[in-house]
Amino acid sequence: METSPSAQPAKPTAPQVTLTQVLEDYPLYRTWKGEWSAPGTISRDCKQCGKETTWKYNGSLSNSPSGSFKLPYYRCVNCENDSVYFLIVVLNNGRLMKAGQFPMPSVRVPNSIEKRLGASADFYRKALTSRNEGYGLRAVAYFRRVVEDKTNELIDVVADAAEAHSVPTTDVEKIRAAKNEKAYEDKLKIAAQAIPEVLKPHGANPFQAMYDILSIGIHTQSEEECLQIADDTREIFDYLFDRLRTEIAERSAFVSKVKAIAGKRGLRDSS
């Protein structure tokens, strides 16, 4: 979905990040403004331990005479049997680039999301691969395909959340009615307008944010800007598609438990 240059939404602003975050999660070839100072520890998944653990800095394999690149490596503190290696290039403009990583950044789709994605899981995985390799434009295209495939499900999740918060039935139906639109971007726009205030924490409307991101004309953006768009799209999608479902289930279970306790208490009081 593209808009005219005069109607372009504001470009996404990259959040402030630390060198720890650069090593943990930055894609390859994306630059970072700052000076190199190896973090003492980072957090990442360990294949040996089968969970996320703390990794300790174990030095640098080599430093170039001019200091133009660094080769830091880290080892899992828990098992001490798994290591990760980075190639950090120090650019002349005061920026750093993560130009290499071994093993490569993970492209594993979280299990809870993969099961629900079905055939779209392949597009999600390709989006992650593109993002990790620094191809922002391609990553955005794949993430947009995932959103397009799953827009109706996203709308149903938000409608279910509205019901869990005792939103009037007529308002819930307005959300579900957005599925009647033909274009997925129109569905997002209508759903954003129908979301009740109770589902806008501190005024944040997730559907409006998704619509705004998808309205950005990506062919006018740099790879760097597209990487940020891809990250923003994934974060909002994951919240709506996965974490919000968990919140709904936990809320419904809690309400049912409280009602059951209240019912038992009422029986005791009446006996």
Q: Which residue has better confidence, 254 or 42?
A: 42
- 163-200 pLDDT tens trace: 888 899 999 999 999 999 999 999 999 999 999 888 88
% of the chain residues with pLDDT over 70: 89
Please give the pLDDT value at position 14: 54
Please give the pLDDT value at position 4: 45
Determine if the peptide bond prior to 103 is cis (ω within 30°): yes
Class of domain 111-256: mainly alpha
State yes or no: pLDDT of 20 exceeds 50. Answer: yes
Please give the pLDDT value at position 259: 73
Which residues of the chain form CATH 1.20.120? Answer: 111-256
Nearest partner of 176 among 159, 193, 153, judged by Cα = 159
Nearest partner of 231 among 150, 100, 134, 155, judged by Cα = 134
Residue 2 pLDDT grade (very low, low, confident, very high; cuts 50, 70, 90): very low
- 121-138 pLDDT tens trace: 999 999 999 999 999 999
Please give the pLDDT value at position 112: 82
Q: Which residue has better confidence, 55 or 215?
A: 55
